[in-house]
Amino acid sequence: MKPSHIEHIGIAVKSLEEAIPFYEKVLGLECYAVEEVVDQKVKTAFFKVGDTKIELLESTDPEGPIGKFVAKTGGGMHHMAFAVEDVQQALTEVQEAGCEVIDKTPRNGAEGLKIGFLHPKSTQRVLTEICGNK
């Protein structure tokens, strides 16, 4: 797999409404999109920093992955996402290289992108996402 850049960093928050002012007023970034991702049971808010985005994640369901993470940790850095051309191809390649994956086939992420998660067991405990246009 050949990632072109860090596509985004995912940060789990209790409330987008509480978290957004830090990114806007303190860091001086602009929230350019808020979107619900039904598949992942989250509402997301996006900020651009160069080619990379900050993705804030608020759970819409306490039983969803972000709901459980926030209940356990109080929130914070959740995952890092690498940009690739072809997510299916990247998922196949990392498995061939011995990496365990959570998603064997891509699923739908925010902003119309395809995404897939690698298993933290294989990534030094950092939840790692790959994302791309196909």
Q: What residue ranges bind Zn ion (CB under 5 A)? A: 10, 81, 129
The CA dihedral of 64, 109, 74, 72, to the nearest 10 degrees, is 40
Residue closer to Zn ion (CB basis): 98 or 106: 106
Minimal distance in Å, beta carbon 109 to Zn ion?
6
Residue closer to Zn ion (CB basis): 8 or 20: 8
Minimal distance in Å, beta carbon 71 to Zn ion?
19
Minimal distance in Å, beta carbon 53 to Zn ion?
9
- For residue 11 the two structure tokens come to 């940060």
Residue closer to Zn ion (CB basis): 20 or 127: 127
Edge to edge, what strands does the sheet with 128-132 contain? 31-37, 42-49, 52-59, 5-13, 76-83, 128-132, 114-118, 107-108
Minimal distance in Å, beta carbon 129 to Zn ion?
5
Measured CA to CA, the distance from residue 60 to residue 58 in angstroms comes to 7
Residue closer to Zn ion (CB basis): 25 or 118: 118
- CB-based contact 1:84 (threshold 8 Å): yes
Measured CA to CA, the distance from residue 114 to residue 130 in angstroms comes to 8
